[in-house]
């Protein structure tokens, strides 16, 4: 709009609740700038209630986060955001803030010789509530960073004091505690005398062992170690890198060697195994995949024809979950059947 | 709310037998009088006035009144709000989302900044949710990607930061000040 529309007389200032209604519709970039309009606006824009209202408003029109890998071998991914609005669809390449990497290099350099340039990879772990959690790795260690691409703020997770061998990890939001959580599943590395902390990247384990979880609270900025001795893991292989998080519970799709789900409840700090829907209902070979974010606050999975099958539908199943104990294949309800769309690619939706 | 069908007194036999009695359109629609704070009188059709939740509940509480005083509302924004609601009634009768969107967009495009902002408290007071949505979005669109100075003058806000405080805020999010539209 041009300045010519400005009337000579000054516009009467609106009451605060009406200003809020207008500001919740603005992009984060504008809001950060308008903190310097006045002291009232600054305290309004930084008010947690306003931030929650703004997030709620913007998730009515979620942006889709796309993650791409340039090649099969590439560890680092590129991220882009697709904004779909009434008037237009725009596309943003998400740049990893330079300062984020500088911080990382700085941290690394406090441990390493300055001459050695760390070979860093940056991988998306998950996304919820407009925040991205990424794994920043080099050959020696893994760090986790929570990144808000809208404000360009980021915050590193502290390193845990325990030396831990990671088998699985995941990121999600626990709405009951209004906390963002990072969960690492694995086993302790037996080196009690070492004070330095080190994460060893994924490596296949042999034999049974007790599962342990390291749970990070972004609210408290602290790790807590969870032992659950009731469950033996056996050998497993992660099927999907991404954990699915629904209502504070994390789910990983594993091969053991059959498909199975490992669940970890962050509220009660317990593990459990969940079977996929019964295979014998299907006459042809099928594949299963967990659905990112679940459906209507329940874990959901899709069952679709194996390569070469002639079946042309995908079934969507939802877990009827009492939240207690072991879930068998009977605990699933078929929600709907949709036409087979070809190969499925996982996308994250920023909600 | 009475219509021709439940009219208590009957007319002649001929009109009863008439297949399509034309009483609906022939009957003059009920008018409601609204009085602005600057004592201007607006006569609007009942259906339009019922779009204003505040006026509607006023009538439900005191059905015998014929003039509704609106002490918080001046004539100019009120006339614009009535103009908007008259059109919305037409879209209610003949739903056409594309036309409605087009009308709503044109309605705000041709208004000055002052007109838009002055209508917001009126739409809020009269509880016209659709209009409030349209106005809030229109104002948001006009200030999105504009400079801080532009927004201050848009809303008539005085800068109460010291130069140092303002400079510190600008440094904190320097990138948010890049690529901003010309005022």
Q: What is the pLDDT of residues B86-138, one digit of tens each?
A: 999 889 888 888 999 999 999 999 999 999 999 999 999 999 999 999 999 99
The whole-angstrom separation of Cα B33 and Cα A40 is 39
Same domain, A39 and A70: no
Range of the structural domain that residue A218 is part of: 161-275
Q: Within a domain: residue A5?
A: no
Q: Within a domain: residue A3?
A: no
Q: Strand pairing partners for A216?
A: A182, A223
Same domain, A331 and A344: yes
Q: Strand pairing partners for A128?
A: A131
Same domain, A111 and A126: yes
Q: Quick one: pLDDT at residue B137?
A: 94
Same domain, A171 and A198: yes
Q: Quick one: pLDDT at residue A69?
A: 63
Number of domains into which chain A is organized? 4
Q: Quick one: pLDDT at residue A350?
A: 38
Same domain, A181 and A88: no
Same domain, A48 and A138: no
Task: Provide, as residue numbers in chain B, all residues whose Cβ is less than 8 Å from the Cβ of A34.
Answer: 143, 148, 151
To the nearest whole angstrom, how far is the Cα of B37 from the nearest Cα of chain A? 16
Same domain, A270 and A293: no
Task: Provide, as residue numbers in chain A, all residues whose Cβ is less than 8 Å from the Cβ of B152.
Answer: 37-38
Q: DSSP 3-state assignment of A34?
A: helix
Q: Within a domain: residue A49?
A: yes
Same domain, A167 and A228: yes
Judged by CB atoms closer than 8 Å, whether chains meet at B143 and A26 is answered as yes
The domains found in chain B, sorted by start residue, are: 29-143 (3.30.710.10), 148-177 (no CATH)
Q: Quick one: pLDDT at residue B118?
A: 93
Residue B53's closest CA among B123, B121, B100, B107?
Answer: B123
Q: Within a domain: residue A9?
A: no
Nearest to A10 among B120, B145, B156 (CB): B156
Pick the residue of B176, B179, B182 with the most A CBs within 10 A to test the interface with A by mutation. Answer: B176
Q: Within a domain: residue A97?
A: yes
Q: Within a domain: residue A4?
A: no
> Which chain B residues in 118-177 lie under 8 Å from chain A, judged by CB atoms?
118, 120-121, 124, 132, 136-137, 139-148, 151-161, 166, 169-170, 173, 175-177
Q: Are A138 and A118 in contact (CB under 8 A)?
A: yes
Judged by CB atoms closer than 8 Å, whether chains meet at B144 and A42 is answered as no
Among A135, A157, A179, give the residue marking a domain's end: A157
Q: Quick one: pLDDT at residue A250?
A: 92
Task: Provide, as residue numbers in chain B, all residues whose Cβ is less than 8 Å from the Cβ of A8.
Answer: none
Name the pLDDT band for B181 (thresholds 50, 70, 90). Answer: confident
Q: Strand pairing partners for A300?
A: A318
Q: Are A42 and B148 in contact (CB under 8 A)?
A: no
Task: Write the DSSP assignment of A188-253 as a string of letters.
Answer: E-S-TT--S--EEPP----S--EEEEEEEETTTTEEEEEEEEEEE--S-EES-SS-EEETTEEEEE
Same domain, A172 and A120: no
Please give the residue that has the higher pLDDT: either B144 or A162: B144
Please give the residue that has the higher pLDDT: either B157 or A193: B157
Q: Within a domain: residue A10?
A: no
Average pLDDT score over chain B: 83
The whole-angstrom separation of Cα A20 and Cα B138 is 14
Same domain, A213 and A182: yes
Q: What percent of chain B has pLDDT over 70?
A: 85
Residue appearing with tokens 């009144």: B65
Among A157, A191, A221, give the residue marking a domain's end: A157
Q: DSSP 3-state assignment of B29?
A: coil
Q: Quick one: pLDDT at residue A8?
A: 39
Task: Provide, as residue numbers in chain A, all residues whose Cβ is less than 8 Å from the Cβ of B142.
Answer: 1
Taking only the tens of pLDDT, chain A with its 351 residues reads 444 344 434 455 788 999 999 999 998 889 999 999 999 999 999 998 999 899 888 777 767 777 666 555 555 566 777 776 666 677 767 766 666 665 555 454 444 444 444 566 777 888 887 788 888 776 667 788 888 888 888 888 888 777 667 778 899 888 888 889 999 887 655 433 333 334 444 444 444 556 778 899 988 999 888 876 666 666 777 887 778 888 888 999 988 778 889 999 888 888 888 888 876 667 777 788 888 878 888 899 988 776 655 557 788 889 987 655 555 556 888 888 887 655 544 444 433
Same domain, A256 and A286: no
Same domain, A126 and A166: no
Judged by CB atoms closer than 8 Å, whether chains meet at A34 and B124 is answered as no
Task: Provide, as residue numbers in chain B, all residues whose Cβ is less than 8 Å from the Cβ of A7.
Answer: 112-114
Q: Within a domain: residue A37?
A: yes
pLDDT at B75 exceeding the cut of 90: yes
Q: Quick one: pLDDT at residue B49?
A: 86
Among A157, A178, A197, give the residue marking a domain's end: A157
To the nearest whole angstrom, how far is the Cα of B147 from the nearest Cα of chain A? 8
Judged by CB atoms closer than 8 Å, whether chains meet at B161 and A36 is answered as yes
Q: Strand pairing partners for A82?
A: A64, A91
pLDDT (tens digit, 9 = 90+) per residue, A95-139?
A: 666 666 655 554 544 444 444 445 667 778 888 877 888 887 766
Please give the residue that has the higher pLDDT: either B38 or A212: B38
Judged by CB atoms closer than 8 Å, whether chains meet at A5 and B117 is answered as no
Task: Provide, as residue numbers in chain A, all residues whose Cβ is less than 8 Å from the Cβ of B136.
Answer: 18, 21-22, 25
Please give the residue that has the higher pLDDT: either A130 or B14: A130
């Amino acid at each position: 709009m041009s300045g010519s529309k400005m009337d000579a007389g000054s516009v009467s200032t609106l009451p605060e609740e009406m200003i809020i209604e207008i500001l919740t519709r603005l992009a984060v970039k504008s809001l950060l700038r308008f903190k310097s309009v006045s002291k009232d606006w600054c305290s309004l824009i930084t008010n947690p209630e306003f931030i929650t209202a703004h997030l709620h408003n913007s998730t009515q029109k979620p942006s889709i986060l796309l993650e791409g890998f340039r090649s099969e071998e590439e560890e680092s991914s590129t991220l882009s955001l697709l904004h779909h609005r009434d008037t237009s669809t725009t596309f943003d390449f998400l740049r990893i803030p330079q300062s984020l990497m500088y911080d990382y290099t700085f941290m690394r350099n406090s441990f390493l010789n300055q001459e050695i340039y760390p070979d860093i990879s940056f991988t998306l772990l998950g996304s919820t509530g407009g925040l991205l959690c990424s794994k920043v790795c080099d050959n020696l260690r893994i760090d986790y960073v929570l990144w808000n691409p809208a404000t360009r703020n980021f915050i590193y997770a502290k390193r845990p004091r325990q030396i831990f061998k990671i088998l699985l990890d995941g990121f999600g939001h626990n709405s009951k505690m209004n906390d963002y959580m990072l969960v690492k599943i694995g086993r302790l590395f037996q080196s009690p005398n070492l004070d330095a902390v080190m994460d060893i990247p994924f490596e296949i384990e042999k034999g049974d062992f007790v599962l342990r979880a390291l749970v990070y609270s972004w609210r408290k900025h602290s790790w807590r170690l969870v032992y659950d001795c009731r469950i033996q893991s056996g050998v497993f292989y992660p099927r999907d890198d991404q954990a699915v998080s629904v209502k504070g519970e994390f789910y990983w799709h594993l091969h053991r060697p059959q498909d199975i789900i490992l669940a970890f409840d962050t509220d009660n700090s317990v593990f459990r195994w969940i079977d996929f829907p019964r295979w014998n209902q299907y006459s042809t070979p099928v594949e299963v995949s967990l659905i990112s974010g679940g459906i209507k606050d329940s874990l959901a999975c899709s069952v679709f024809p194996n390569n070469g099958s002639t079946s042309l539908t995908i079934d969507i199943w939802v877990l009827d979950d009492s939240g207690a104990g072991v879930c068998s294949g009977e605990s699933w309800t078929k929600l709907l059947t949709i036409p087979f769309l070809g190969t499925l690619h996982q996308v994250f939706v920023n909600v | 709310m009475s219509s021709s069908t439940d009219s208590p007194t009957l007319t002649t036999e001929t009109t009863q037998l008439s297949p399509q009695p034309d009483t609906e359109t022939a009957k003059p629609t009920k008018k409601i009088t609204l009085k602005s704070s600057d004592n201007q009188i607006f006569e609007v059709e009942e259906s339009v006035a019922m779009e204003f939740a505040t006026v509607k509940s006023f009538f439900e509480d005191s059905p015998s009144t014929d003039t509704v005083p609106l002490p918080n509302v001046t004539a100019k924004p009120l006339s614009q709000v009535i103009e908007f609601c008259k059109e919305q009634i037409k879209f209610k009768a003949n739903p056409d989302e594309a036309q409605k969107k087009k009308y709503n967009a044109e309605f705000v495009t041709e208004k000055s900044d002052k007109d838009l902002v002055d209508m917001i408290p009126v739409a809020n007071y009269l509880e016209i949710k659709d209009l409030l949505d349209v106005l809030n979005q229109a104002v948001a669109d006009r200030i999105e990607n504009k400079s801080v100075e532009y927004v201050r003058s848009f809303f008539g806000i005085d800068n109460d930061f010291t130069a140092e405080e303002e400079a510190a805020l600008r440094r904190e999010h320097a990138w948010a000040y890049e690529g901003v539209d010309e005022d």
